[in-house]
């Protein structure tokens, strides 16, 4: 039986007899000539779930009766018989949860469509030019002063008349000396050396130290003169350095009238010996609970990548894998997804552990051979990493796995690998309006002619994973969500002193009244308790 | 003995005399010209103390060290005393010093003495020894007034005075501490702690700090192992924690890696990056060498190191586990790690068909060098050649290989099915050339000196049964058996243990006055005497040349006296099963009826063929018949218990049947066959050694890249080639500014960056560029001795460098040249250029200068203690001139075939090096004549003329050159050194390479001022020079090299019992026993020639990676001891996959560079052109680079992949990487891969 057939049959049986069948039970049933008769038995047992043992007559219904509703133990018993058998996505006909009553709407607004890079210097140059093109307008809007078209014009004007000018460019060099920060700012027309004297510009120096990195687009105001080449001097009194995302950007509050919620998870790491299968199952069970006031309203499940542990990701990984076969890892994930209630829409982006290239943007999981089982599922959307997705017609969610956060945390003078540090790191991405604000760190980018990593418009939600540290913050109206993990602390994390947040999920309450109240906007569900 | 002493003294005198004569020449020369100093800058040192003074530029150490050594009789103890005296201010090594400097000097001097003052670790490996404040780690200095009797400690961060009770001591290590070696690195920490105690400072306590310093160490070690590499010893987290918690001084270090810690960050007094030097001291030093350290702690009574006990005990736990294994050693696959594509695996660990261990030292092995049969070199298609490094399973980690003919050769199967022993290397060569070899059944023996086991502290293991062992045991066996047969039991018991020699003596004495002896003894002794006579007359003569013993004789001896069967004719019974033996016995057909004239035939069924191949019985195929011919036919039949006269097998006693059954069950084939044969048959290859190719051998001129003729800065004014002549001729449009030392000629009144003005001969004056005053009058805090000068084109004489004028001046003196390559800029602190004349003369001889002004040639080290004159181009006449008056037998040297013993500092150069050295000598003569106006000294025209001349040998990471003497030239691609000169450089022969220079070159052209101004800049430079090596002052690793002519029987017995290597120390003579007079050394095995075999490894001759890999796998397929699928897996796992991954991922975060001025960019210039010079911008990693191993990886999977799980994962990984490359670069690039291969 294919996934789809199973589902149909399960649905039919569920509607007709009011029981939920395990996949194995379904298969048993197929071989059974008098299926209806067997199913009649379900009346004898007041249980919502029907197992294979029951069909085969291995379990005495009377015995089961004593176990009143304790469905999961039976399921587990069957599990141990045939491990990890997936169950059909189920609906409970008796009482439909609120989420099943509303229609879902998922629209992928932006994702990396062309992914092949031009592997030449020109490709890199074009990429950075596009980055500048995309972000320059934002910078310009932010800085008052005498703007010039480009650095070419800046040199011309300053040669004639040294003075205060504003210009935007890409930071191509950054050096700190005892007395100053030296920036190289470039655009297609030229290069200017920016000197930020520490004594004369203590504030700006501090800002540069904390915020500016090679590869960023920034705007600078300062006194320019041309000697051997153009030099711009920046002092606190007359100069300025600005990032494209600074200032006030309030996004419009999404007008969601339905009582729906989105849950954010990530870094499942199926296949790892440290994968907490129990917690992940508990998560799925929770979503299936029609009585849970939160779970029953979840309409969207958003996964920030690293659904599997992958293979060959780091040296010596083979020893730490429970499932060494990459196909099997995804197969397993697909089986889990089948257990989700079928009124739920799922959005999954890839991460660095997924079977795709490492360079950003990462194409959709649908282009990965091992991940094919995911494409066969209904209600599962597989955009690229990063991707901008509109859910429920209103809420814009920027999804990014978060590979660059490591570099920011290491580079940033006061960010550490903890919730606070992660928040700081994500906010830097927003201020710099770029998901990989530091070029040349540990994260490779694909030099595409179009820079998909630039953030032109502030989304309602920026969801990241990767750090395994759960955190939430609202910044300028944008909800920053860093998802937790389902992987126990690894030996490596232990050694370097990183404590991951395991088995906690973040729920965004989308209904307008809840959303508008910052205290009610989020619900954190801890599955470990 | 006296003669040996005299010869050695004469040799040493000569070295000293010639060296000082050259120093005189160089002094005279340098006084005349522009060299940075008016005398040679290399200090000739005769003792450790003097070398310490030269290395660290201190005084009074040599004399005091000598006194203390005399007084205490122990150099190490003297070292601790010196440390104490320096800190107390009793020994002034550099005038009056404040406390923190006294401590710093004391620790460095201590470390220098412990490392024989050869390596640069005391200079470069310790960045600083600092007094620090508890809890903050702030640096504290002594600001008291001279003579600094009472220290006044002041914090450098906040300027407040600090109580000594509130301080501790920290040593900040740097990367080059590696050069010191683990033991010395650990001892440096101990020395520092001793210094701390003498200075009266409290111990370091990590708990004083707010941060988790202990966790920081643990994280650093873990991160290092994860991201950077591994240590010789990788301690557990508990061990690191133990050290970090208890070490009484702080082990700090400079950042050596870009990698940063993730957890324990931002500790105020520590960097966030990894501190490689500090980690090395902890892991390879304190943890690994805890047992050695503890001995010192006890000996010198140093408190606070009790925690070492736990480290040591931890080790002994492991040993207890090992106790059970003591009787049997386990295969060890460590050497297989990081198998590189193209460097073949020769044998899996302890695999059948791998190297058979044989004990012995040939005249060209020992000291981490092993012997293999030259035929093997051909059989491996020339991958393994003279001087190639092998990574080996045991006893050490690596060794270089050299040809030895007196061991058993490889055995191969040819395409026609026949199996041959390749005793003749020429035959091997021919077979390989004709591609006749189908399978390499066995690699033959590997000759390993017992000293190697001692040095590596590896338990002795049973070696191959061999003629030299057989010879030792046969007379005794014959004696014992004879006695047993002829004497009553009680008498036999009395006599059996009396050594044969004594018995012979006693017997002849007693028989002389036999009548006076009592009846009881008379009888037995008479019998004993006759037996002994028999042994002496019949057996011993036959043993005189065991290698040439005929098979008939061997059979007769064994059958008559029951002695073990001769090793040459012994087959490898332990590699087959008893049932295989039965099968052979059943299947054979014999022609002939007397020993030595037999022929055995078998029907060719696969099973019999396999058994014969396992046994290594040479045979051939005649149609469908396997034919074994003499001498192997007789050998085989005798061992199978066949009697040619009767044409039957020997009858077995009935009561033996039970025993035979038992042996069959136990699979003890050797004993089983022994019973069938009626005499003992020993194990031919009880220990197999796995090996793979390590680094290729090397002999190459050292060239910087790009290579300059002269250290003269030209920037981009000379074009890409940095050609000064191109600029001079006006062919280059560019000009540039370069940094040179700011010296002004007072006569000419302009910038002249030399000590003496080349135009007027006046001494120039150094200025400070900060204040523009002469350096003597400058008050700047940090004077700047360098000026940025325009190359010509400038009106200001103080900031323009008159390049054209300097060239013209040089041309007048020494003539001209087409090209003269300079450097882009100088990296030294003062940036004083070399005189152009030197460059022109070098360019004329096509020679390229190294960063320190010398000319270098690098070669891989190989050991040599004795040489046959004709091997190295020595005539008897020349040999006698060099002090080789008698050969090893004591006969006068009259023929080129004689073998003489080398002197301790003798070397043999490869021809390539000699040809280069001829040009260097000619250049030096030119320099003397044309530039310095002196008489030439070399007059060398051809390589052989170099014989007798002195060179300076220098190891990387060291700072002390050792004078060597050239005694010959050989056609090899590495060089032979006497082990003593090798060890004087603190090197062994396990694949290391060292450099040599001509002595006069070093004296004339080396200057400290040319050396780069950065950490490690003083490494690899001849700061001091040892003219005469004192064997007591060399790396003591070589002391374990055995120097005896044969091994006693006892040694072989110990080996069979897996005795500790230490037990062998008593049994064999080692160099340590001859330090006083290191002459009269012997070897156990000779070789036909030290240059027999291929000289350039196929690895280097093949250009394309694809070819190398193909050949490696082809070899894997052919070698029986190697599983090719495994090789493919390892290559993928340890080489290809990491490479592809690494490069694919680096592609998208790469740097860029300018094709013209080579500027580097972290972010690509948005204009697309170099903003500095307008040149084209290039990638540093191309798509083709990133994917170059993808195709080969795919092919490996296709060809060798199996269904096991590991292979399946690897296959998926390769697929994913291919996808990754495809989506990253699009499809066009994968097509060009083939092309890429074609071009590289």
Lowest mean pLDDT among A32-46, A153-167, B129-143, B626-640: A32-46
**What is the CATH architecture assignment of B1-40+834-865+902-1022?**
Beta Barrel (2.40)
Q: Are the beta carbons of A325 and B222 separated by less than 8 Å?
A: no
Q: How confident is the model at residue B1056 (pLDDT cuts 50, 70, 90)?
A: very high
Lowest mean pLDDT among A141-150, B568-577, B885-894: A141-150
Q: Are the beta carbons of A122 and B1163 separated by less than 8 Å?
A: no
Q: Of B1052, B948, B961, nearest to B1003 (Cα)?
A: B961
A58-77 pLDDT per residue, tens = 544 444 443 333 434 444 44
Instruction: Give the other-Cβ count within 10 Å of B230's Cβ.
Output: 12
Lowest mean pLDDT among A100-114, A324-338, B677-691, B863-877: A100-114
Lowest mean pLDDT among A196-205, A507-516, B231-240, B480-489: B480-489
Residue A271: pLDDT over 90:
yes
Best B258, B1163, B1187 residue to mutate vs chain A (most A CBs within 10 Å): B1163
Residue B1239: pLDDT over 90:
no
CATH class of A107-111+250-526: alpha beta
Residue of B1151, B1182, B1227 lying closest to A440 (CB–CB)? B1151
Touching B: A residues 192-231, CB under 8 Å: 214-215
- Whether the CB-CB separation of B242 and B217 falls below 8 Å is answered with no
Residue B507: pLDDT over 50:
yes
Cis peptide before B638 (omega within 30 of 0): no
Question: Where exactly are the structural domains of chain A?
Answer: 3-88, 107-111+250-526, 143-242
Mean pLDDT computed over B37-58: 91
Question: Alpha-carbon distance B866 to B859, whole Å?
Answer: 20
pLDDT at B832: 97
**Ramachandran bin of B457, using left for φ above 0, alpha for ψ from -120 to 50, beta for the remaining angles:** left
pLDDT at A76: 44
Q: How confident is the model at residue B348 (pLDDT cuts 50, 70, 90)?
A: very high
Average per-residue pLDDT for chain B: 90
Question: What is chain A's alpha carbon radius of gyration, rounded to the nearest angstrom?
Answer: 27
**What percent of chain A is modeled with pLDDT above 90?**
65
Residue B313: pLDDT over 90:
no
Q: How confident is the model at residue A283 (pLDDT cuts 50, 70, 90)?
A: very high
Task: Give the DSSP H/E element, type plus range, for residue B625.
Answer: strand B625-628
Q: Which two tokens stand for residue B248?
A: 């009484």
- Whether the CB-CB separation of B1191 and B1236 falls below 8 Å is answered with no
Backbone angles phi, psi at B492, to 5 degrees: -55, -45
B1172-1192 pLDDT per residue, tens = 888 899 999 999 888 889 998
B839-884 pLDDT per residue, tens = 999 999 999 999 999 999 999 999 999 999 999 999 999 999 999 9
Residue B1093 DSSP class: S
Residue of A410, A440, A446 lying closest to B260 (CB–CB)? A410
Give strand ranges (E) for B814-938. Answer: 857-863, 866-868, 899-901, 906-910
User: A323 touching B, CB under 8 A?
Assistant: no
pLDDT at B875: 95
Question: Alpha-carbon distance B928 to B25, whole Å?
Answer: 9
Please name the residues in contact with A237: beta carbons below 8 A apart, sequence gap of 6 or more. Answer: none
Task: Give the DSSP H/E element, type plus range, for residue B27.
Answer: helix B2-32
Residue B1213: pLDDT over 90:
yes
Question: Alpha-carbon distance B746 to B759, whole Å?
Answer: 12
Mean pLDDT computed over B467-488: 83
- Whether the CB-CB separation of A439 and A171 falls below 8 Å is answered with no
pLDDT at B203: 94
Q: How confident is the model at residue A80 (pLDDT cuts 50, 70, 90)?
A: very low
pLDDT at B845: 97
The sheet with strand A298-303 has its strands ordered as A380-381, A345-348, A298-303, A261-265, A504-509, A522-526
Q: Which two tokens stand for residue A29?
A: 């049933």
Contacts of A326 in chain B (CB under 8 A): 1209, 1212, 1216
pLDDT at B32: 92
B68-78 pLDDT per residue, tens = 999 998 888 99
User: B1212 touching A, CB under 8 A?
Assistant: yes
pLDDT at B231: 85
Best A114, A124, A417 residue to mutate vs chain B (most B CBs within 10 Å): A124
Question: Where exactly are the structural domains of chain B?
Answer: 1-40+834-865+902-1022, 41-312, 335-464+685-697+1041-1099, 465-548, 578-632+640-684, 716-793+820-833, 1123-1239
Residue B957: pLDDT over 90:
no
Contacts of A417 in chain B (CB under 8 A): 262-263
Alpha helices (H) along B927-1007: 979-984, 999-1005
CA distances from B1086 to A115, A244, B1090 (A): 66, 79, 9
Instruction: Report CA dihedral (B898, B901, B906, B910) to the nearest 10 degrees.
Output: 40
Q: Are the beta carbons of A440 and B1162 separated by less than 8 Å?
A: yes
CATH class of A143-242: mainly beta
Question: Alpha-carbon distance B339 to B336, whole Å?
Answer: 6
pLDDT at B517: 46
Instruction: Report CA dihedral (A358, A363, A366, A372) to the nearest 10 degrees.
Output: -10
User: B1205 touching A, CB under 8 A?
Assistant: yes
Largest CA distance in chain A: 98
Largest CA distance in chain B: 118
pLDDT at A28: 65
Coil, strand, or helix at residue B1226? Answer: coil
* Pair type for strands A387-391 and B345-347: unpaired
Coil, strand, or helix at residue A2? Answer: coil
Lowest mean pLDDT among B449-453, B471-475, B499-503, B627-631: B499-503
Residue of A170, A440, A492 lying closest to B1149 (CB–CB)? A440
Mean pLDDT computed over A32-47: 54
pLDDT at B1017: 87
Helix crossing, B1105-1118 with B1190-1200: angle to 10°? 20
Place of tokens 């005084």: B59
Q: Are the beta carbons of B1224 and A440 separated by less than 8 Å?
A: no
Lowest mean pLDDT among B99-108, B252-261, B542-551: B542-551
Question: Alpha-carbon distance B188 to B182, whole Å?
Answer: 10
Lowest mean pLDDT among A112-116, A215-219, B372-376, B1034-1038: A112-116
Residue A458: pLDDT over 50:
yes
Question: Alpha-carbon distance B901 to B893, whole Å?
Answer: 11
Mean pLDDT computed over A215-240: 91
- Whether the CB-CB separation of B756 and B30 falls below 8 Å is answered with no
pLDDT at A85: 43
pLDDT at B324: 44
> Of B259 and B1125, which is predicted with more confidence?
B1125
Contacts of A189 in chain B (CB under 8 A): 1167
> Of B967 and B542, which is predicted with more confidence?
B967
pLDDT at B323: 44
pLDDT at B1230: 38
Contacts of B1217 in chain A (CB under 8 A): 312
Three-state SS across A455-496?
CCCCCCEEEECCCCCCEEEEECCEEEEECCECECCCHHHHHH
Give strand ranges (E) for B211-316. Answer: 250-253
- Whether the CB-CB separation of B152 and B160 falls below 8 Å is answered with no
B262-308 pLDDT per residue, tens = 888 889 899 999 999 999 999 999 998 888 888 888 888 888 898 98
pLDDT at B1174: 84
Task: Give the DSSP H/E element, type plus range, for residue B560.
Answer: helix B551-561
Please name the residues in contact with B120: beta carbons below 8 A apart, sequence gap of 6 or more. Answer: B55, B176, B179, B957, B958, B959, B1016, B1018, B1019, B1020, B1021, B1023
B129-153 pLDDT per residue, tens = 999 999 999 999 999 988 888 889 9
Best B220, B1150, B1165 residue to mutate vs chain A (most A CBs within 10 Å): B1165
Task: Give the DSSP H/E element, type plus range, for residue B1124.
Answer: helix B1124-1131
Q: How confident is the model at residue B1197 (pLDDT cuts 50, 70, 90)?
A: very high
């Amino acid at each position: 039986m294919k996934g789809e057939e199973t589902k149909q049959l399960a649905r039919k049986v569920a509607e007709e007899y009011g029981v939920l069948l395990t996949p194995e039970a379904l298969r048993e049933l197929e071989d059974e000539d008098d299926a209806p008769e067997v199913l009649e038995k379900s009346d004898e047992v007041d249980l919502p779930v029907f197992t294979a043992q029951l069909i085969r007559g291995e379990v005495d219904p009377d015995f089961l009766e004593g176990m009143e509703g304790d469905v999961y133990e039976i399921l587990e018993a069957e599990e141990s018989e045939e491990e990890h058998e997936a169950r059909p996505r189920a609906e409970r006909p008796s009482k439909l949860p609120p989420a099943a009553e509303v229609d879902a709407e998922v629209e992928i607004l932006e994702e990396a469509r062309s992914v092949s890079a031009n592997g030449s210097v020109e490709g890199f140059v074009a990429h950075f030019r596009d980055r500048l093109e995309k972000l320059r307008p934002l910078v310009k809007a932010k800085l008052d002063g005498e703007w010039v078209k480009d650095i070419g014009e800046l040199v011309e004007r300053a040669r004639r008349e040294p003075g205060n000018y504003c210009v935007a460019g890409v930071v191509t060099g950054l050096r700190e000396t005892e007395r100053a920060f030296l920036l190289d700012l470039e655009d297609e027309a030229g290069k200017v050396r920016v000197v930020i004297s520490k004594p004369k510009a203590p504030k700006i120096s501090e800002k540069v130290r904390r915020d500016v990195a090679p590869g960023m687009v920034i705007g600078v105001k300062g006194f320019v003169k041309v000697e051997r080449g153009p030099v711009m001097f920046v002092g606190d009194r007359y100069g300025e350095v600005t990032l494209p995302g600074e200032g006030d950007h309030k996004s419009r509050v999404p007008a969601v009238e339905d009582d729906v919620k989105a849950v954010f998870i990530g870094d499942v790491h199926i296949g790892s010996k440290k994968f907490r299968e129990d917690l992940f199952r508990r998560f799925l069970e929770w979503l299936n609970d029609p009585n849970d006031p939160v779970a029953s309203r979840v309409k969207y499940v958003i996964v920030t990548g690293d659904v599997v542990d992958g293979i060959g990701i780091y040296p010596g990984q083979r020893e730490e894998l429970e499932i060494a076969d990459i196909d099997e890892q995804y197969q397993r994930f697909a089986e889990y997804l089948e257990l989700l209630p079928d009124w739920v829409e799922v959005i999954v982006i890839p991460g660095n552990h997924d079977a795709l290239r490492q360079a950003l943007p990462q194409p959709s999981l649908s282009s990965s051979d091992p991940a094919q089982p995911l494409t066969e599922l209904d209600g599962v959307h597989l955009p690229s990493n990063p991707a901008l997705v509109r859910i429920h017609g209103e809420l814009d969610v920027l999804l990014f796995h978060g590979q660059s956060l490591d570099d920011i945390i290491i580079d940033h003078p006061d960010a550490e690998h903890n919730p606070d540090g992660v928040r700081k790191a994500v906010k830097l991405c927003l201020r710099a309006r770029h998901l990989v604000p530091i070029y040349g760190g540990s994260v490779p980018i694909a030099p595409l002619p179009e820079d998909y990593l630039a953030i032109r418009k502030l989304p309602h939600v920026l969801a990241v994973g990767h750090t395994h540290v759960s955190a939430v913050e609202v910044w300028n109206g944008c909800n920053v969500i860093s998802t937790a993990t389902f992987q126990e602390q690894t030996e490596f994390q232990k050694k370097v002193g990183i404590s991951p947040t395991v088995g906690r999920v973040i729920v965004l309450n989308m209904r307008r009244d809840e959303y508008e109240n910052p205290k009610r906007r989020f619900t954190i569900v801890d599955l470990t308790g | 003995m006296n003669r040996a002493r005299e010869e050695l003294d004469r040799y040493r005198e000569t070295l000293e005399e010639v060296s000082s004569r050259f120093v005189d020449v160089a002094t005279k020369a340098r006084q005349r010209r522009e060299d940075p100093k008016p005398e040679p800058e290399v200090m000739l040192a005769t003792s450790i103390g003097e070398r310490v003074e030269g290395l660290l530029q201190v005084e009074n150490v040599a004399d005091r060290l000598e006194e203390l050594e005399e007084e205490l009789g122990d150099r190490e103890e003297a070292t601790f005393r010196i440390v104490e005296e320096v800190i107390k201010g009793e020994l002034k090594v550099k005038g009056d010093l404040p406390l923190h400097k006294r401590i710093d000097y004391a620790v460095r001097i201590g470390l220098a003495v412990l490392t024989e003052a050869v390596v640069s670790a005391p200079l470069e490996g310790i960045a600083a020894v600092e007094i620090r404040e508890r809890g903050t780690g702030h640096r504290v200095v002594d600001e008291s007034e001279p003579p600094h009797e009472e220290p006044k400690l002041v914090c450098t961060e906040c300027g407040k005075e600090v109580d000594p009770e509130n301080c501790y001591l920290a040593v900040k290590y740097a990367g080059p501490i590696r050069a010191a070696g683990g033991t010395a690195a650990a001892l440096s920490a101990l020395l520092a702690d001793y210094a701390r105690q003498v200075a009266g400072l409290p111990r370091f306590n990590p708990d004083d700090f707010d941060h988790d310093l202990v966790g920081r160490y643990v994280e650093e070690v873990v991160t290092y192992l994860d991201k950077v590499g591994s240590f010789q010893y990788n301690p557990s987290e508990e061990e690191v924690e133990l050290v970090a918690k208890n070490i009484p001084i702080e082990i700090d270090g400079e950042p050596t890696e870009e990698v940063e810690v993730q957890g324990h960050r931002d500790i105020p007094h520590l960097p966030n990056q990894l501190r490689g030097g500090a980690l090395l001291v902890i892991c390879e030093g304190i943890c690994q060498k805890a047992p050695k350290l503890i001995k010192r702690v006890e000996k010198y009574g140093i408190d606070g190191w009790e925690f070492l006990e736990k480290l040591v005990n931890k080790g002994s736990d492991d040993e207890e586990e090992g106790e059970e294994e003591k009787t049997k050693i386990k295969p060890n696959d460590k050497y297989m790690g990081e198998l590189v594509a193209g460097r073949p695996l020769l044998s899996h660990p302890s695999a059948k068909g791998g190297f058979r261990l044989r004990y012995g030292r040939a005249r060209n092995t020992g000291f981490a060098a092993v012997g293999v049969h030259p035929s093997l070199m051909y059989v491996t298609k020339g991958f393994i050649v003279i001087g190639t490094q092998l990574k080996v399973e045991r006893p050490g980690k690596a060794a270089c290989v050299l040809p030895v003919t007196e061991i058993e050769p490889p055995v191969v199967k040819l395409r026609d099915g026949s199996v041959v022993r390749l005793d003749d290397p020429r035959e091997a060569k021919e077979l390989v050339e004709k591609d006749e070899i189908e399978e390499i059944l066995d690699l033959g023996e590997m000759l390993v000196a017992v000293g190697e086991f001692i040095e590596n502290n590896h338990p002795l293991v049973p070696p191959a049964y061999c003629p030299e062992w057989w010879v030792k045991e046969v007379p005794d066996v014959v004696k014992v058996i004879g006695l047993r047969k002829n004497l009553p039991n009680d008498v036999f018991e009395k006599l059996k243990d009396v050594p044969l020699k004594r018995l012979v003596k006693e017997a002849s004495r007693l028989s002389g006055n036999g009548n006076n002896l009592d009846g009881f003894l008379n009888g037995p002794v008479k019998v004993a005497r006759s037996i002994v006579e028999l042994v002496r007359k019949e057996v011993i003569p036959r043993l005189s040349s065991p290698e040439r013993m005929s098979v008939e004789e061997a059979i007769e001896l064994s059958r008559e006296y029951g002695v073990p069967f001769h090793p040459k004719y012994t087959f490898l019974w332990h590699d087959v099963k008893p049932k295989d033996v039965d099968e052979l016995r059943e299947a054979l057909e014999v022609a002939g009826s007397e020993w030595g004239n037999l022929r055995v035939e078998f029907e060719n069924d696969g099973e019999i063929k396999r058994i014969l191949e396992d046994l290594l019985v040479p045979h051939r195929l005649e149609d469908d018949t396997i034919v074994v011919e003499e001498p192997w036919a007789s050998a085989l039949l005798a061992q199978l218990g066949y009697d040619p006269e009767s044409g039957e097998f020997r009858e077995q006693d009935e009561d033996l049947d039970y025993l035979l059954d038992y042996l069959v069950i136990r699979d003890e084939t050797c004993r089983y066959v022994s019973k069938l044969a009626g005499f003992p048959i020993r194990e031919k290859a009880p220990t197999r050694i796995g090996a793979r190719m390590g680094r290729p051998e090397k002999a190459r001129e050292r060239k910087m890249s790009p290579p300059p003729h002269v250290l003269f800065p030209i920037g981009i004014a000379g074009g890409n080639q940095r050609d000064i002549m191109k600029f001079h001729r006006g062919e280059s449009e560019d000009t540039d500014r370069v940094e040179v030392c700011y010296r002004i000629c007072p006569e000419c009144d302009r910038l002249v960056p030399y000590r003496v003005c080349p135009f007027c001969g006046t001494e120039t004056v150094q200025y400070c560029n900060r204040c523009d005053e002469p350096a003597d009058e400058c008050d700047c805090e940090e004077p700047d001795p360098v000026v940025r000068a325009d190359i010509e084109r400038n009106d200001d004489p103080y900031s323009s460098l008159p390049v054209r004028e300097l060239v013209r001046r040089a041309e007048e003196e020494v003539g001209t040249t087409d090209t003269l390559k300079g450097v882009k800029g100088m990296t030294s602190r003062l940036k004083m250029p070399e005189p152009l004349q030197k460059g022109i003369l070098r360019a004329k001889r096509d020679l390229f200068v190294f960063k320190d002004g010398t000319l270098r040639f690098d070669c891989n080290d190989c050991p040599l203690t004795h040489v046959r004159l004709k091997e190295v181009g020595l005539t008897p006449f020349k040999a006698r001139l060099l002090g080789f008056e008698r050969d090893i037998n004591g006969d006068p040297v009259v023929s080129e075939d004689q073998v003489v013993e080398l002197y301790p500092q003798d070397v043999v150069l490869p021809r390539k090096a000699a040809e280069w050295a001829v040009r260097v000598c000619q250049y030096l003569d030119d320099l003397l004549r044309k530039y310095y106006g002196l008489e030439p000294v070399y007059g060398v025209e051809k390589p052989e003329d170099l014989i007798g001349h002195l060179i300076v040998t220098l190891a990387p990471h060291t700072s002390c050159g050792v004078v060597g003497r050239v005694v010959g030239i050989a056609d090899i691609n590495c060089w032979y050194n006497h082990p003593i000169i090798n060890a004087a450089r603190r090197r062994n022969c396990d694949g290391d390479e060292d450099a040599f220079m001509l002595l006069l070159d070093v004296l004339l052209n080396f200057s400290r001022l040319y050396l780069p101004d950065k950490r490690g800049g003083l490494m690899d430079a001849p700061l001091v020079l040892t003219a005469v090596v004192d064997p007591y002052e060399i790396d003591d690793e070589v002391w374990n090299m055995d120097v005896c002519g044969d091994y006693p029987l006892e040694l072989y017995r110990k080996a069979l019992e897996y005795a500790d290597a230490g037990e062998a120390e008593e049994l064999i003579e080692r160099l340590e026993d001859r330090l006083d007079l290191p002459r009269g050394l012997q070897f156990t095995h000779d070789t036909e020639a030290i240059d027999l075999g291929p000289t350039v490894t196929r690895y280097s001759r093949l250009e394309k990676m694809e070819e190398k890999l193909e050949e490696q796998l082809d070899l894997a397929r052919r070698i029986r001891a190697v599983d090719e699928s495994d090789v493919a897996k390892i290559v993928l796992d340890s080489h290809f996959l990491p490479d592809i991954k690494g490069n694919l991922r680096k592609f998208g975060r790469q740097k860029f560079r300018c094709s013209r001025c080579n500027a580097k960019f972290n972010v690509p210039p948005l204009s697309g052109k170099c903003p500095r010079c307008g040149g084209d911008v290039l990638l540093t990693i191309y798509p083709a680079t990133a994917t170059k191993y993808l195709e080969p990886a795919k092919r490996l999977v296709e060809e060798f992949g199996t269904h096991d799980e590991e292979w399946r994962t690897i296959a998926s990984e390769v697929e994913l990487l291919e996808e990754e490359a495809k989506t990253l670069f699009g499809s066009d690039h994968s097509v060009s891969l083939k092309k890429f291969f074609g071009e590289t």
